[in-house]
Structure 1
Amino acid sequence: MAVSKSSVNSKPKVTFWEFFQSLGKTFMLPVALLSFCGIMLGIGSSLSSDNVIAELPWLGTPWIKSIFLWMTAIGDFAFGYLPVMFAIAIPLGLARDNKGVAAFSGFVGFVILNIAISFYLKQAGLLEIQDELLLKKQNIKFILGIQTIDTGILGSIMVGVIVYFLHEKFQKTKLPDAFSFFGGVRFVPIITLLTMSLIGLIIPFIWPFFAAGINGLGNLIQGAGIFAPLLFGAGERFLLPFGLHHILVTLIRLTEAGGTLEVCQNEVSGALLIFRAELNCPTVTDFSVSATRFLSQGKMPTFLGGLPGAALAMYHCAKPENRSKIKGLLISGVIACMVGGTTEPIEFLFLFVAPFLYAIHAILTGLGFMVMGLLDVTIGNTDGNLIDFVVLGVLQGTKTNWYLVPIVAGIWFVVYYGIFRFAITRFNIPTPGREKDDNMESESTTFTSNTNIGSSGYNSEGILAALGGKDNIVSLDNCITRLRLSVHDISLVDEKALKNFRALGVVKLNDHNLQVVIGTQVQSVKDELDALIK
């Protein structure tokens, strides 16, 4: 079926819901770096600490200790420059065209905002104050060498979103011939500079209200007491299928909503930033449970025990003749979950066929967060995988109570296995290997060939055809495991064909937007699709 010219030339409007999905996806670029830097910081700080050196004196050898101190310094980078990275990553991720210009404008916007704020503070005489306590109360700090109001992650998100809208509106601006040099994409950083310089003069008046709102959210969450981690963990899983979980995670881990604590005479906000500050503070002997209860430790019962148990249940419930066919799929999903902290390859095997099982899974994940907090386990970072367990749990010593994790994970393994095996057999849920016709092909024979396998291990030509061809694609992007697409005509998308080409699931959001769940090789598939489209 051909796509009409009029439909090709018109871009589907982005809804409010879709915008927030895309916004959450942009957080993953700085957060992925943050996670890796957290691992480096954990290794470096633990193996260069005096307590560890006292037990293992050879670690005190100058050149060996220097290596770990170097790792600590490098690992601290992402935490120190996190706001500017968000300001760059958001317009970079949201922009459909000229992404480099959008990213450059994000940096310009962030710096200009703080320069304008600093200008106002200087004119108001606030920078002449020598009282450290008063400056702290006004939240005045040095950012990129500029003495300004620290608006944190929320401020950088605001910059990124504003720059994105400016980029979309002005990247094709045509100016009179005398000024044509400044037109087109060159106009984007110019209009960004002018806009953010004006907003920077307003921020000192309105920011206290934003800060009060975030603090109110934090007080609401903290007011839930021991149930706060349960609400957070379950909420994250419930939001994951819609791609909105990154927003909740960012608020709790990187803003005042996740709590505020004084560490090494510095006031730090956000659960992850508090843990990082304590990890890097030589006077801290024990990590704060109030912060770590929202971090890696809460995921570990489900990631290291529960989901592997669910995978084993799905294997045992498959038809005997199909078990060899699905073994590789399940094993790769378990490895991605336990080692990489990526759960979608397993979750999407039962999300679409048994949503009630996914609801149980979300609640059990939240219970895992709560139990780890009640047991005073204090393992930080973001991924909840074996790497976090070893580096930020075992290597930090018994003060983290890491030895409780395998016990709870073992219990979760048994619980998940029992629930999933009972539910699958009792309600005849068509999990992998139990379908009525595992070899069922798409009604469209155009897509049934699986011979053109690319370096990604997927037939990207077939996937593109199943999406309605390149003329049907408006925009294409990806997150950790999913292709995110806007199309002209969603009726051209062949869901059966996509599943024949090993897609784990298809989420149709509306008449123009969908997500195709691929798995951990999604970036390679997206790159191959980009090449085919171009």
Structure 2
Amino acid sequence: GLLKVVDTKMVMGIQSIDTGALGALICGVIVFFIHEKFQNVELPDAFSFFGGTRFVAIATVLIMSVVGLTVPMVWPFFAAGINKVGAAINGAGPFGPFLFGAGERLLLPFGLHHILVATIRFTEAGGTYVTAAGETIHGALNIFYNQFAQGAEFVSPEATKFLSQGKMPTFMFGLGGAALAIYKSAYLENRKKIKGLLISAVVASAVGGITEPIEFIFLFIAPVLYVFHAIMTGLGFMVMGLLKVAIGNTDGNIIDFLVFGVFQGFWTKWFYVIPVGIIWFLIYYFVFKWYIVKYDIPTPGRDNSAQAQEAVDSGDIAGYTAKVMLEALGGKENIVSLDNCITRLRLVVKDSSIIDVEAVKAAGAVNVVKLNDTNVQVIIGPKVQVLKKQLQKLM
């Protein structure tokens, strides 16, 4: 009886519960823990071939089989919970997109935003749509793609209110205002030197839809500004929804604006993005400028300590030097592998306990995240690629 509240589909000829994106996330998390527990298992000589990482695959099959058997018992409660989240967001009317937009930004520093985003994009929480053929489609993004494929007259602002249009006032305009405020708040002699850093961060946000390079400049040193930014992002979603803008997709950048907005014609109401965006730019600029100056926030170019000044003078804006950073990380002997994403160094080390977190921060890192005994992430900002190359040269 409980199974009536969940969707099922045929998988390899077996009627299975359709757990969607959330099921995939849960599988990923479980397999991670299986790997952590069994990757170094040693078996008796006769079975030694199946030890170590090979045993992870065997354990995964056995454990996930048990998980598969328990899913029908627990999933209906999950589904009911997801439906409640969806009902709360959809039941909030015009306020729903605000809750989604602000919530996503607030969860981002913890890496938990993917759960909220996947829930809205791919489950009932983001809406349900029944096609002319009688097919039921769940999730804002799934609904948008289905409607978009059918033609312009099918695309509903109800589906797009949780999609990239809501990000556009902030991603394309607001964060540019924040960057200009950081530039204008810097001491005159430092402005020229931080210009490149800020321009590249604005381009990443507006063209790439990647906001972390700007956000990580102020996230840890001015959390109040980050909360303001989250609220403004939520308001951007809310305003675009109220104006019945119908631009879909996911990134909230200039590419989405052109491809899914301007190029589709006036029915998308893309023209509303520009005046709203200009207002967002001005609000961000004046709020950031006032707060940074009033509370003397040490954004790039405002810290005149000897170390920071030396870094600025050498063009090393974030104030780190690879040599100091390497020593603080325990030296090259401690580093097993080194990689980076857009804003972070991703390290596998022999022993994370010997890392001097404060010394790493003093060398210019924003923060150090120790995932476990051997996996460490160092949050740097948009110049992480340069730092990684300097570290590699030293190593």
C-alpha separation between the residues in 2 aligned to 1:270 and 1:531? 47
- 1:463 maps to a residue whose letter is M
TM-score by length of 1: 0.64
TM-score by length of 2: 0.84
How does 1:115-154 map onto structure 2 within 5 Å? 139-143=7-11, 147-154=15-22
C-alpha separation between the residues in 2 aligned to 1:163 and 1:227? 37
Partner of residue 141, structure 2: 272
C-alpha separation between the residues in 2 aligned to 1:137 and 1:224? 23
Aligned-pair CA distance for 1:509: 7.4
Partner of residue 281, structure 2: 413
Judged with a 3 Å threshold, the aligned counterparts in structure 2 of structure 1 residues 169 and 528 are, in CA distance, closer, same or farther, namely farther
How does 1:107-256 map onto structure 2 within 5 Å? 139-143=7-11, 147-256=15-124
Partner of residue 331, structure 2: 469
The secondary structure found in structure 1 opposite 2:249 is coil
How does 1:301-320 map onto structure 2 within 5 Å? 301-320=169-188
CA contact (8 A) 1:481 1:520 kept: yes
1:483 to 345, 348, 366: 345
Judged with a 3 Å threshold, the aligned counterparts in structure 2 of structure 1 residues 468 and 170 are, in CA distance, closer, same or farther, namely closer
Partner of residue 517, structure 1: 379
Aligned-pair CA distance for 1:478: 5.0
C-alpha separation between the residues in 1 aligned to 2:99 and 2:336? 37
Judged with a 3 Å threshold, the aligned counterparts in structure 2 of structure 1 residues 155 and 357 are, in CA distance, closer, same or farther, namely closer
Judged with a 3 Å threshold, the aligned counterparts in structure 2 of structure 1 residues 268 and 405 are, in CA distance, closer, same or farther, namely same
The secondary structure found in structure 2 opposite 1:483 is strand
1:344 to 207, 212, 220: 212
CA contact (8 A) 1:490 1:511 kept: no
Q: Note the alpha carbon deviations across 1:198-256, whole angstroms, 9 max, x for none.
A: 33233333322221121122112222221111122112222223333222222222223
C-alpha separation between the residues in 2 aligned to 1:403 and 1:219? 31
Aligned-pair CA distance for 1:522: 4.0
Aligned-pair CA distance for 1:384: 0.8
Judged with a 3 Å threshold, the aligned counterparts in structure 2 of structure 1 residues 524 and 287 are, in CA distance, closer, same or farther, namely farther
- 1:335 maps to a residue whose letter is V
Judged with a 3 Å threshold, the aligned counterparts in structure 2 of structure 1 residues 288 and 146 are, in CA distance, closer, same or farther, namely farther
C-alpha separation between the residues in 1 aligned to 2:136 and 2:193? 54
1:259 to 119, 127, 141: 127
CA contact (8 A) 2:22 2:115 kept: no
- 2:91 maps to a residue whose letter is G
The secondary structure found in structure 2 opposite 1:155 is helix
Structure 1, unmatched stretches of 5+, are 1-134
The secondary structure found in structure 2 opposite 1:294 is coil
CA contact (8 A) 2:168 2:252 kept: yes
CA contact (8 A) 1:506 1:514 kept: no
Structure 2, unmatched stretches of 5+, are none
Tell me the matched-pair count: 385
Q: Percent identical across equivalent pairs?
A: 58
Q: How well do the aligned residues superpose, as a CA RMSD in angstroms?
A: 3.4
- 1:256 maps to a residue whose letter is E
